Amino acid sequence: MSISCGRPFLRAENIFKSRKQTGRHNPYNENCGKERTSMIRMLPRDFVLGATISAYQTEGAVDAAGRIPCAWDRWYARPDSTFDARNASGFYTSYREDIARCRAFNIRALGISLAWTRIIRDEQGTVNEEGVRFYQDVIRCCRENGIEPYVALYHFDTPLFLFDRGEWLAPETAEQFLHYAQVCFERFGGMVRYWITMKDPVSLVMNEYVAGQFPPAERFAAGKAVLALHSMLTAHSRAVIRYKEMGLPGKIGIVHRAESVYPLAGSPGSERAASLDDTLTNRFLLDGVLAGGYSAETMAGIRAILSQEPEFFDPAPDDLAALDKAAGQLDFLGVNYYASHFCEAWRDGAAQPADTGSYALKGISRRLGRADVPTTDWGWSIFPHGLYDMLLRIHEEYPHRPIYVTENGLGLHESLPAPGPDGQRMIEDDDRIDYLRQHLSAVLDAMEEGVDVRGCFVWSMLDAMSWTGGYDKRYGLFYVDESGRRFPKKSAFWFRDLSARRIMLTVDALRASVLAH
């Protein structure tokens, strides 16, 4: 795979400001891939370098210690499912060794998520003490190894009984989430300094109701996506408010999969299409959690999107009050970034099926690739400039909050090679190293423009079960084989050196560094 950061594209004025218009220097010109490949850059000593995992994708042990089913358990039990999360990466039984690996490879911050279904054991909200003890042990183990845990309350694993009642379309889910959040704050609040209410709300609702890749696998139901997303944002807001009311000493934020949207040049109506796509996938959430309410421009876009849908969006005053209060109390924003999107108008015919690289929604937009932008094995654009643009956009358009890039990584088809002359088995994942280095360069460029980015986390620390790619799609710094054994990849050694020395080495320079250790 050949990876380069590509050429910046002209953006619609009503979505993004041109760097030329703002007088800012754009570090990404048409030769930026060559320039970045040869550059060695320094990272600030206080810049957080970490890695991330999630509960359902790595823990396994789905029947252990009082855990109740989540929606994914039934989804993967379908006759046509080829994935099985019963073991996942085995973190539930191997967390001590995995956290020791983090320490050995200078992973000084570890993003984890708590499984709602391990901590709450029934519809009445009864606390599962075994689940509480497990996460207390995990967090304590992180602390003993000098690793800062960044703890997410929710990463897609809704209890099955709530999913069957409508999940985030039903008011009960938000009420149950607030109870669950308070239990976590009470039981872990003295141990956790960085809380995340939710990870990737937009990604969840878009995959549930537009792309149809997550249960309940509905397609093109944009109205349901908007209503579910608003419910999640108000639930997030009430959790932030409750946390602050409890007077706990830590910080709390939310994570958004913030991926830039660009109009396709020369396509009639592409700017309007990109604007509507961006409203649904970025502006709606960013308005709610950072500005404390939906702007008139955002609401106009949402009304246009819903004009073809049976749903009607009229947020309750209490919901808007919660958004407003929580936005003023939010301590940080997490940004997950994997790809950017290029859009054209789509008005003819029925809505088109979705795949991993694009989708089309009648009356909104069609996402397409560009021949001059490289892609991953799964059709996602490789475009570090989109991360730079998104960070600058958040900085320029919204009240300032510290930002963490809470996920960034490259999924690859990988298999464990035979042992080398030294008896070691190591995957030479130079593509992943180059991908991470280029995106980290984009972050450093944004920081030079004044954006307050405090750290970056690699997805993922371990190979994990991808929600739709299973174990074919591997992101980890550590390879996990069928028996659960861990093997550090070349990228793990790159990360170890980067974290220790704060010098971002090129792939060629890394080769000598690895051989020297």
Q: What is the DSSP string of 208-254?
A: HHTS--STT---S-HHHHHHHHHHHHHHHHHHHHHHHHTT-SSEEEE
Q: What is the pLDDT of residue 83?
A: 84
**Looking at residue 352, what is its pLDDT?**
55
CB-CB contact of 382 with 373 (8 Å): yes
Structure tokens at 139: 């967090």
Lowest-confidence segment of 91-105, 156-170, 339-353, 444-458 by average pLDDT: 339-353
Residue 293 corresponds to which amino acid? G
| Three-class SS state of 149 | strand
Please give the positions annotated as active site.
407
Evaluate if residue 25 carries a pLDDT over 50.
no
Q: Which of 4-13, 161-170, 212-221, 348-357 has the highest mean pLDDT?
A: 161-170
What is the reported pLDDT for 266?
75
268-297 residue pLDDT tens: 899 999 999 999 999 999 999 999 999 999
pLDDT value of position 6: 31
Q: Are 327 and 291 in contact (CB under 8 A)?
A: yes
CA distance 372 to 388: 19
Q: Is pLDDT at 267 greater than 50 in this prediction?
A: yes
Give the pTM.
0.92
Domain boundaries, the chain: 47-512
Show the CA angle centred on residue 262, arms to residues 257 and 268, nearest 5°. Answer: 140
**Radius of gyration for the alpha carbons in the chain, expressed in angstroms and rounded:** 22
213 pLDDT higher than 70: yes
Q: Give CA separation, 411 vs 81, 147, 325, 371, in Å.
A: 20, 25, 38, 20
The band of 387, judged by pLDDT with boundaries at 50, 70 and 90, is very high
pLDDT, mean over the chain: 89
Residue with tokens 């088809």: 413
Return d(Cα 402, Cα 333) in angstroms, integer: 6
Lowest-pLDDT range, 2-6, 267-271, 478-482? 2-6
pLDDT band at 38 (very low <50, low <70, confident <90, very high): very low
Task: Give dist(CA 432, CA 3) in Å, integer.
Answer: 9
Residue 422 binned pLDDT confidence (cut-offs 50, 70, 90): confident
* CATH fold of 47-512: TIM Barrel (3.20.20)
Whole-number pLDDT of residue 30 = 31
pLDDT above 90: percentage of residues in the chain: 79
**Whole-angstrom distance, CA of residue 87 vs CA of residue 355:** 27
Task: Provide the CA 244 distance to its chain's centre, in angstroms.
Answer: 24
pLDDT score, position 509: 59
pLDDT band at 358 (very low <50, low <70, confident <90, very high): low
pLDDT for res 313: 96
> Is 333 in contact with 289 (CB distance < 8 Å)?
yes
Instruction: Let me know: does 149 contact 194? Beta carbons within 8 Å.
Output: yes
For residue 152, pLDDT beyond 90: yes
User: For residue 270, what is the enclosing H or E element?
Assistant: helix 270-278
Going by the DSSP 8-state scheme, the letter that residue 347 receives in this structure is -
